Structure 1
């Protein structure tokens, strides 16, 4: 038991040290974020403005793999699909349930990690609550530049051939404030490469959000930027279960 506690303390210390490395990225994110993502870790961003999120991300290096091997998720959830698609093939019209709210937050967070300002703007227009929509849409270009800087890509000029930035949501937590308001945390793996042939880097990000029922669909509202966030942890580790994340099941894949 003592050895286990020591090992966990060492992991926490490594996470804290790597967190310091990400502070510069947090400052970059804060310049382009109106109400965006928060909390992160690498292998276990500064994402563009998106609804249902707040505060800048805090990227940290991924911890070395645990020696215990893969640990299956204790909880899984199959989030509902949207009943239709908006511009950019983005899913909309989610059911009026906590799972529907979480599905919107996941779709919004996934779309936020893009190098294309038009895609970012489409996500904002699709998912942002009306009170934030115009202001956030005006920041789409700055958001794309923030994403490029995060990915190690020059902020001006064409995106280098083979450069990538992709987000894969792997876990979610959600709790109802009332029937029209759901708080959501989305855990994502964000992978980027600055050019063709560059070794991809994966970062874990915890993205907080609030979904509000508006216009017969879930939309993203701003959250408290000072809210405490859980440490980012990878799926397949005991920490994923200890922190009570639900693994997102997509098709036959968890």
Structure 2
């Protein structure tokens, strides 16, 4: 059976010693796309756009630091404890979405403290941009031939020639399309409620859908954690469970808000 042979160079353009990678371009596009979504939301709700620049800074730092530390400590802790300076070598690759999520949650805590807005109000709206962010990042992973799927002979299998000649599940694309679907769902929910959206509904929906998809797709991913596990579930699946549970709790609480005749505000 013939399969798609994927052998694209991860370097988009080279200028002597300067190299521009596809990953960097798509990561930047992911941030800019998320920013545009947030601008649209702020304009829709008549909120001062000036505060958005600060939010962007907090989120970007939270994503990068959290995702890096998540990769180091969730997936290969023994190596990084033995080589702590390698934690800073982000150019060598290694970002974990679970860690990035935690990083954003902590970074937003600083933002809401400064601007006196509801923590959940910010996270709800960021969830929309985060779903779109995930689309770009997973396409970047596909171009880089990383986060590989396990071997398969399904008609849509892909051979990542830069790695080996084995046809594999394009797990990166599965996640990219899952995030695109989630983005569409969240946009629909936001348009329905807008500023009256109950706190936690968008974030909870994102967590349920994103980590359900992640849990399922992990089953066709190649093992990423460097250490062995005696559990049936892999590291990515185990890390997905608490996020999924948190999403369930948030949606239940949000639905209770809908039944109460109260005014939902972005203020504490």
Q: TM-score category by the smaller chain?
A: under 0.3
TM-score (normalizing by structure 1): 0.25
Greater relative contact order structure (CA < 8 Å, 6+ sep): 1
Who wins on radius of gyration, i.e. which is larger? 2
Higher share of residues assigned strand: 1
Higher share of residues assigned helix: 2
TM-score (normalizing by structure 2): 0.24
